[in-house]
């Protein structure tokens, strides 16, 4: 892996956002993520913690947004090498002194949204680099992952959240996870279209899933206390326009703490960086960029560490960061949010969704 340059370049200057991040601050955040990545491409939460596929991909996407394409490529090659024969990845792999021990996962469950997210990352990487050889090489990995995930789709369109270590599907569906899968299916369909390999079954599945998210909350576990369940149908692209605006306005006072960020769980006095940055991305996608910038500006004081990384959360009643960990995925979500606000084409494509297929329209169905 090549070292990052000592001073900001065009990519980090492009990610700078007045009032939020300077080019120098962007660079220190990118360097912070890069310092955690192993030589084989693995990106754990932080050194000594675990790796999960979803957060690994989020960090890789941030590296691409910052122009660190070699590092991002290595991250995707790690996924290709460690995909299970059924198309899945395990939920957690330990980070040991010798690196991420992929052969000895700490959680042998396989979560649907963790596995699907490779399609988002792969399409983002292709749009960032124009590397057709990469897309050709990762297509079998994406195909197998999507097939694995759709094997957990229920008759109502929702996606079962997990397949246990014994192979049993937990048919309960999470709105957050299914919304993330919806975004991933659209990216997978975009890859298939680009390769001129249509996948009509995926189109039907995406349509059914989008319909369930928009119209059938009863098909998902009740997690309304969690802010992710509030904004993820917007972030994942299932809700747009007036429906998205109505949903965000409905939960704003419950989850947003002015001057600090977004609660992870209501009414707990705990704002978290990942949720705050993801809400900013959702707001940007709705055309509410001013509010998105506000959120990103608010979290800088309580959550940005001296090394440019971000604490996971802040308990404002105690004026204390908690837990005391600086995670690559929190920093990654911040960089992706500023990339979208700055007009980075790959990031706006996968999170704005205007050019992504929506699948077959199922809104006429019950």
What would the DSSP string read from start to end of 60-78? HHHHHHTT-HHHHHHHHHH
For residue 8, pLDDT over 80 is answered with no
- What's the mean pLDDT when you consider all of the chain? 95
* HSE value, Cβ hemisphere, 13 Å, CA-based, for 201: 7
Q: What pLDDT score does 7 carry?
A: 53
Strand pairing category for 169-173 and 160-163: antiparallel
Mean pLDDT of 23-36: 96
**In terms of CATH architecture, what is 20-353?**
Alpha/alpha barrel (1.50)
Determine if residue 26 is left, alpha or beta; phi over 0 gives left, psi from -120 to 50 gives alpha, anything else beta.
alpha
Give dist(CA 328, CA 324) in Å, integer.
13
For residue 85, pLDDT over 90 is answered with yes
Q: What pLDDT score does 141 carry?
A: 98
Mean pLDDT of 161-166: 97
Q: What pLDDT score does 135 carry?
A: 98
Q: What pLDDT score does 183 carry?
A: 98
Find tokens 């169905």 and name the residue: 365
Find tokens 């006095």 and name the residue: 269
Alpha helix stretches (DSSP H) within 151-288 = 175-194, 200-215, 227-235, 241-255, 273-285
Comparison of pLDDT for 14 and 73, the residue scoring more: 73
Find tokens 């596929």 and name the residue: 53
Condensed to tens digits (0 to 9), the pLDDT of residues 88-143 reads 999 999 998 888 888 899 999 999 999 999 999 999 999 999 999 999 999 999 99
Number of Cβ within a 10 Å radius of residue 225: 15
For residue 233, pLDDT over 50 is answered with yes
Grouping H, G, I as helix, E, B as strand and the rest as coil, residue 265 is strand
pLDDT-based confidence at residue 147 (cuts at 50, 70, 90) = very high
Mean pLDDT of 40-62: 97
Q: What pLDDT score does 9 carry?
A: 66
Condensed to tens digits (0 to 9), the pLDDT of residues 290-348 reads 999 999 999 999 999 999 999 999 999 999 999 999 999 999 999 999 999 999 999 99
For residue 35, pLDDT over 60 is answered with yes
Tell me the pTM. Answer: 0.96
């Amino acid at each position: 892996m090549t070292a990052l340059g000592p001073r900001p370049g065009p990519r980090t200057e492009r990610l700078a956002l007045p009032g939020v991040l300077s080019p120098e601050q962007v660079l220190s955040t990118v360097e912070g993520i890069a310092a955690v990545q192993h030589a084989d491409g693995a990106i754990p939460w932080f050194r000594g913690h675990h790796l999960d596929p979803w957060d690994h991909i989020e960090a890789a996407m941030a590296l691409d947004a910052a122009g660190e394409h070699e590092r991002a490529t290595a991250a995707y090659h790690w996924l290709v090498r460690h995909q299970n024969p059924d198309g899945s990845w395990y939920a957690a792999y330990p980070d040991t002194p010798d690196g991420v021990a992929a052969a000895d996962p700490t959680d042998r469950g396989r979560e649907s949204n963790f596995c699907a997210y490779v399609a988002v990352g792969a399409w983002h990487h292709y749009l960032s680099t124009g590397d057709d050889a990469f897309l050709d090489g990762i297509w079998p990995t994406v195909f197998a992952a999507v097939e694995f995930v759709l094997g957990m789709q229920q008759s109502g369109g929702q996606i079962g959240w997990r397949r246990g270590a014994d192979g049993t599907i937990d048919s309960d569906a999470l709105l957050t996870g299914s919304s993330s899968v919806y975004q991933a299916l659209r990216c997978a369909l975009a890859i298939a279209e680009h390769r001129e390999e249509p996948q009509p079954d995926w189109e039907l599945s995406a349509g059914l899933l989008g319909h369930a998210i928009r119209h059938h909350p009863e098909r998902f576990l009740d997690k309304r206390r969690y802010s992710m369940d509030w904004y993820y149908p917007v972030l994942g692209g299932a809700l747009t326009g007036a429906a998205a605006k109505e949903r965000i306005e409905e939960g704003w006072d419950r989850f947003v703490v002015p001057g600090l960020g977004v609660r992870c769980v209501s009414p707990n006095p705990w704002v978290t960086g990942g949720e705050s940055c993801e809400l900013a991305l959702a707001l940007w996608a709705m055309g509410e960029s001013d509010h998105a910038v506000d959120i990103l500006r608010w979290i800088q004081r309580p959550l940005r560490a001296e090394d440019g990384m971000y604490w996971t959360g802040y308990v404002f009643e105690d004026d204390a960061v908690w837990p005391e960990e600086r995670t690559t995925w929190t920093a990654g979500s911040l960089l992706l949010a500023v990339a979208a606000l700055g007009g980075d084409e790959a990031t706006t494509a996968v999170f704005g969704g205007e050019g992504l297929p929506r699948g077959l329209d199922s809104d006429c169905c019950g």
